[in-house]
Amino acid sequence: MFFKTIKTEELDQHPLIKTEQLFSLIFKYIDGWYNTQRIHSALNGKTPWEVFYEKCFELAA
């Protein structure tokens, strides 16, 4: 599912891109969007950051 998502949301938007640019684009997508702000069905429709902060507050309580 991940590869379909990144291909649809990012790579299809930049069909002619150099290898160095491709690596940078993929890294920015994964680190800056997919793993932090994107809603994930496995997390009950929450972003990873929402789950992280919920767990922090649970542990602090």
pLDDT, residue 57, reads 84
Task: Tell if the pTM clears 0.85, that is, is over it.
Answer: no
pLDDT, residue 45, reads 92
pLDDT, residue 46, reads 92
pLDDT, residue 33, reads 76
What ranges in 1-61 are assigned the alpha helix state H? Answer: 2-9, 19-29, 48-60
Pairwise CA distance, residues 27 & 4, whole Å: 16
Q: What is the pLDDT of residues 7-56, one digit of tens each?
A: 788 878 887 888 888 888 888 877 777 777 888 888 999 988 888 889 88
